[in-house]
Amino acid sequence: MNRLIDLARQLPAPEAGMTVAYTPIRLTLPNRPALELRLTAPASGRDLPIVLFSHGHGPSQYIPSKDGYAPLVQFWAERGLAVIQPTHASSRVGGLGPERPEAPFYWRERVAELRAILDQLDEVERQAPAVAGRLNHDRIAVAGHSFGGHTSALLLGARLQGEDFSDPRIGAGVLLAAPGRGGGDLTSESAALFPFFDVDYSAIRKPILVVCGAEDNPHFTPRGPDWHADAFTDAPGADALLTVSGVGHGLGGIAGLDAKETEAEVPDALEATRRLTLAWLCRSFGIDMKLWDEGRAGLNGAAADLAVLAEKRG
């Protein structure tokens, strides 16, 4: 029960169930320290779909790690999804540090880390006995916030300088406040500092949901909040754009409550983000085809003030 939400109650969501969590799960990678993960999953059930979650590169010390994003991750896990969160190489608290050539962003290593998790799913299950044998390795999505959206987009098929980073094991994705087009769409200073933002989303053909904050004014570009919607505009696979009203980059609090990343803690906006992303993921996984339709109906009715939904197909 959440007494802080109002309009978001008009958006359906399953009842929360018990979860289990394992942390730190450690995976061996060549020529570097072990990759540490958190796995949060339903305490019961089988054939659980998997979501790989890629954290952002925000200002907090600990949120950009396996220990962040509990408001979103826990919500998904309580309602049937197994969520795996790595502490990326770019993390301040547990990353690779500032001395390596790709520091501090490690954009290429971040992609490799998510791929390594897929390579070692059996090992992940071995270190999580209560989950072992219950994950469906054929139903996998990726989701990421901010810079995590950049990482997720590359795995979904976005090209960077013509290079293909896509992984066929990933079937769908959710991009939360992800970067837009790079190059000429950036300020000259940002274009020089962040050449890896020059991503071509037009190669993404897998289904994606793009989520933006209506008041998310990026400082990388002279454009406004619509910059974060470029993946929806450019990617043939993008089927929905959710623009959450009254919030910026933190989407009401997905990274953490009372966190630096949460520039505006808005319980209704956070709840709308949680419920609608869950509904879209459930539809993509084929485990609940009605939840998304019911959420869409809510946005067209009593919950209309929470967000605007655009779709390329029904």
| Residue range 267-292, pLDDT digits in tens | 999 999 999 999 999 999 999 999 99
pLDDT exceeds 90 at position 314: no
User: Per-residue pLDDT averaged across 255-270, rounded?
Assistant: 84
Burial class (CB within 10 angstroms; exposed 0-12, middle 13-18, buried 19+) of 62: middle
Q: What angle do CA 184, 142, 133 make, to 5 degrees?
A: 165
pLDDT at res. 59: 86
Peptide bond preceding 236: is omega within 30 degrees of 0, i.e. cis?
A: no
User: Per-residue pLDDT averaged across 24-35, rounded?
Assistant: 96
Q: What is the pLDDT of residues 40-96, one digit of tens each?
A: 999 999 999 999 999 999 888 899 999 999 999 999 999 999 999 999 999 999 999
User: Per-residue pLDDT averaged across 146-156, rounded?
Assistant: 98
Q: What is the CA radius of gyration of the chain?
A: 18
pLDDT exceeds 90 at position 262: no
The answer to whether 12 and 304 are in contact (CB under 8 A) is no
pLDDT exceeds 70 at position 165: yes
Q: Which amino acid is at 80?
A: G
Q: What is the pLDDT of residues 9-22, one digit of tens each?
A: 999 999 999 999 99
Q: What is the pLDDT of residues 191-225, one digit of tens each?
A: 999 999 999 999 999 999 999 999 999 999 999 99
Q: Treating both helix axes as pointing N-terminal to C-terminal, what angle do 267-285 and 70-78 enclose, rounded to 10 degrees?
A: 50
Q: Which amino acid is at 101?
A: P
Q: What is the pLDDT of residues 102-146, one digit of tens each?
A: 999 999 999 999 999 999 999 999 999 999 999 999 999 999 999
Kindly provide the residue ranges of all beta strands, DSSP E only, lying in 62-113, ordered along the sequence.
82-86
What's the CATH fold of domain 7-311? Rossmann fold (3.40.50)
Q: Which amino acid is at 281?
A: L
The answer to whether 24 and 66 are in contact (CB under 8 A) is yes
* Other C-beta atoms lying within 10 Å of the C-beta of residue 48: 21
pLDDT exceeds 80 at position 261: no
Using pLDDT thresholds of 50, 70 and 90, give the confidence band for residue 258. Answer: low
- How far apart CA 21 and CA 88 sit, in angstroms, is 19
Q: Which amino acid is at 63?
A: I
pLDDT exceeds 90 at position 29: yes
pLDDT at res. 1: 77
Domain locations along the chain: 7-311
- How far apart CA 116 and CA 112 sit, in angstroms, is 6
Which helix (H) or strand (E) segment holds residue 146: the answer is none
CA torsion angle for 186, 204, 206, 21 (degrees, to 10)?
-50
DSSP secondary structure letter of residue 15: P
- How far apart CA 231 and CA 151 sit, in angstroms, is 13
